[in-house]
Chain A
């Protein structure tokens, strides 16, 4: 039996607060708390004194007042008579739009480059590592500004499309790439288009159900059901049939040159596109490194073991390498998405009206409500990153190696 000697009993002495480890942590925490309160009190006192001296107060009433400025790229209806709150909302949606587009494109480029960096082809390998090194080692702000400048300088202006012997012409008669922005055809939803969309969504759900069924058949009965071609068929055929049965309810509205500019269609401003491209290719360089590291992290023995079981290369990739590589790739990938979202605040450098441009830019300058505007701005980004971190934790717990 082991004996644990009791701590020396005796009356409490003041010096024990410093010398006794049982109490010392309380002393330190108490001191830290006092210092923290003092610091906050000092900062708060300064804030109040400064506000009073400037004749200001903290109030969020400005959000309800008319904004009085125009925003050139909006996803929701907005006029200069709308409130600052609506302007901020436009900004939020614009931030989310560029972040969403950027994440998709960065993933595609990043995965391709990451895989090509491991290719057998020496030349491609070198080119890809040059790409990764150049983009990783130069600030994203410079890339945004370069792409914006090149974009304006290289692409034709809308006026170049005019006349019979125009210098520029539309691609396929549908897309116009101008220095002012891209004009794309817009879908017009007629009567009955809801059904087509519903059928399309249902067929996507159908693909997932089918894949689940195929997986179950493989694991439980060892029955191999091909998935690629049936998925493709489910994806296209029902929607196309519904589209034609209902008499083609969805049509495209093409952009047309009227006067000095294009009308109709979807307009993506040059600032949005420059920001989107720059963020994508910059983040893709980082994603490529993550993908490469993830693939290299799967030991060669795994591939060889799978091959010795008689799996074909495609199945080795799908069933053995990818599931293990994804566990390594996805956490840094998500933090790259987060970085991209935060970097999208650089939109202000090219005049794209994201939240930093509206709430943190024009609204702040017009109303002079610096503290409130920046507080809200930070709160928004904080909410996004904490939300994504929460999702990441859930994912990490889900794919964690089940150790026994």
Chain B
């Protein structure tokens, strides 16, 4: 101890004071509440209003949920059991469960088929969505569309199998001629696929009962299954179409560019519902006389065109965001147009456009409910039509619409969360 200050200072502390806990208002929960809930009079009012609001909703909804009745056969029975008390009649969901999911004309003994197709869909899209999944699963992804078609629509397995064989033949033809030029390869591939499919068409036609499931008409599809089918089919078909449209719009060839511009702007300028009207009443006029293309296929055509136009715009944004140097680097390596697009431009452009594409996909999935307006019985169509109009369940709004909201929310919310996750995974730029 030095005694330098022994005369001037009466006391010098030579040890640290023990640490004091912070004041109660500056620590823990109270501090958090002060900063996050009651900072200023305006925030306090907002907090109190919000708490009141939450309280009202919880006290209103909780007894309704808790008293829910799950086992009656009609609204009258349910009301009788409730006897004036607040409570939900969830029994409409249990009683009409199959109708809500599969529609009301899909044969009940075949419910396992779309269910199986749905679970296989999860396996099939896993390698696409999740980069760490085993790559061998991609083979299953390739087979899946044909398998799913066979499961949902039934008929002989040979028909989708023939299409698959045709596409494989087309792929080998493409590989054979790709050396010469991409365009030649494409042409050869398409010709080979068409020839094989056309020639092989006699096989399923002559043996309609080999490996056959009970055939189901498109008009018998319904419920949430129809939304899922339209959503997945149209998104997967519109991706390649959208890429082609985006590339066409970027093209330096004026005729091709203007065809794409007019197509995209026209589709984006009209509401989907008018396009569905076209599918419903006008499109049939444009098919050869006597041909009978069913409504689901017509709707798939129109929705695919619709989402392709939107995806094309998203991808165009991705293409425009690439630095000019990437295009020039590809040129200077001596790659031709197809090679530079496939190997350099598109992988980067698509990566940039993933969030936008997912947005379009979510929007499209939500828009599949519009088919109920042209009297197809998807989930919304089922609720509005056969269920709410039935004598048993006339007047059950909250439970049914709540169920619809729940289903769509689960699907769309998880897709958008997935896209945020993927964005973080793919962020490989230098920071």
Q: What are the residues of chain A within 8 A of B401 when measuring CB–CB? A: 142, 145-146, 149
CB pair B274–A374 under 8 Å, yes or no, is yes
A382–B270 contact, CB under 8 A? yes
Which of B181, B271, B281 neighbours the largest number of chain A CB atoms within 10 Å of its CB? B271
Which residues of the other chain, A, contact B159 by a CB distance below 8 angstroms? none
Partner of A342, one of B43, B47, B270, B366: B270
Whether, in the assembled complex, A366 has its beta carbon less than 8 Å from a beta carbon of chain B, the answer is no
- Chain B stretch 287-323: residues in CB contact (< 8 A) with chain A: 287-289
Q: Are A32 and B259 in contact (CB under 8 A)?
A: yes
Q: How far is the CB of A293 from chain B (nearest CB, A)?
A: 12
* Stretch in A114-122, A237-245, A306-314 touching the partner: A114-122
A174 CB to closest chain B CB (Å) equals 27
Give CA–CA (A120, B34) in the complex, Å. Answer: 11
Contact B409 A137 (CB under 8 A): yes
Tell me whether B50 and A370 are in contact (CB under 8 A): no
- Give the residue of A142, A345, A371 whose beta carbon is less than 8 angstroms from that of B380: A142
Contact indicator B273/A370 (Cβ below 8 Å): no
Q: Is there an interface contact between B43 and A356, defined as CB atoms closer than 8 Å?
A: no
Secondary structure at the B interface, as helix, strand, loop or mixed, is helix
- Could you tell me if A50 and B43 are in contact, using CB atoms closer than 8 angstroms? no
Cβ B36 vs Cβ A146 within 8 A:
no
Residues of B within 8 A of A346 (CB): 273, 370, 373
Q: Which residues of A contact B238 (CB under 8 A)?
A: none
Tell yes or no: B118 within 8 A of A by CB.
no
- Please tell me if A83 contacts chain B, counting CB pairs below 8 Å: no
A140 cross-chain contacts in B, Cβ below 8 A: 366
Please tell me which stretch of B18-26, B170-178, B217-225, B261-269 contacts chain A, meaning at least 4 of its Cβ atoms lie within 8 angstroms of it: B261-269
Query: Residues 358-398 of chain B: 1 if any A CB is under 8 Å from the residue's CB, otherwise 0?
Result: 00001000110110110000001000100000000000010
CB nearest neighbor in B for A50: B285
Check A50 against B269 for contact (C-beta < 8 Å).
no
Which of B39, B265, B286 gathers most chain A CB within 10 Å? B286
* Interfacial chain B residues near A349, Cβ < 8 Å: 372-373
For B228, list chain A residues within 8 Å (CB). Answer: none
Whether A36 is near chain B, meaning CB under 8 Å from some CB there, is yes
Q: B289 to A50, Cβ gap below 8 A?
A: yes
Which chain B residues lie closer than 8 Å to A53 at the CB level?
289
Q: Are A370 and B266 in contact, CB atoms less than 8 angstroms apart?
A: no
Contact A32–B256 (Cβ < 8 Å): yes
Which residues on the B side are within 8 Å of A149 (C-beta)?
397, 401
The total of chain A residues at the interface (CB under 8 A) is 54
Q: Which residue of A lies closest to B256 (CB)?
A: A32
Hey, which chain A residues are within 8 Å of B39, CB to CB? 120-121
What residues on A are CB-neighbors of B287 within 8 Å? Answer: 46, 50
Residue of B nearest to A378 (CB): B270
How many angstroms between the C-alpha atoms of A386 and B261 in the bound complex? 13
Q: How far is the CB of B100 from chain A (nearest CB, A)?
A: 13
Task: Tell me the smallest distance from the CB of A378 to a CB of chain B, in Å.
Answer: 5
Which residues of chain A in 32-78 are interfacial with respect to chain B, using CB atoms and an 8 Å cutoff? 32-33, 36, 43, 46-47, 49-51, 53
User: Closest approach, in angstroms, between the C-beta of A196 and any C-beta of chain B?
Assistant: 38
Q: B253–A25 contact, CB under 8 A?
A: yes
**Other-chain residue from B254, B286, B409 in contact with A47 (beta carbon distance below 8 A):** B286
Residues of A within 8 Å of B348, CB to CB, are none
Whether the pair B285, A46 counts as a contact (CB closer than 8 A) is: yes
Contacts of B408 in A (CB 8 A): 137-139, 142
The contact string, 1 if C-beta is below 8 Å from chain A, for chain B 234-274, is 00000000000000000011111001000001101111111
Task: Flag whether B146 is at the interface (Cβ < 8 A).
Answer: no
Beyond A121-B50, A145-B380: 14 further Cβ-contacts under 8 Å?
A28-B253, A36-B259, A46-B285, A50-B284, A50-B286, A53-B289, A116-B46, A122-B37, A137-B408, A142-B380, A360-B277, A370-B277, A374-B277, A385-B268
Residues on B facing A (Cβ under 8 Å): 35-37, 39, 43, 46-47, 50-51, 53-54, 181, 252-256, 259, 265-266, 268-274, 277-278, 281-282, 284-289, 362, 366-367, 369-370, 372-373, 380, 384, 397, 401, 404-405, 408-409, 412-413, 416
22 A-B residue pairs with CB within 8 Å = A18-B181, A28-B253, A29-B253, A32-B255, A33-B255, A46-B288, A47-B286, A50-B284, A121-B46, A133-B413, A136-B412, A137-B362, A138-B408, A139-B369, A142-B369, A345-B271, A348-B273, A364-B281, A378-B270, A381-B270, A382-B266, A382-B270
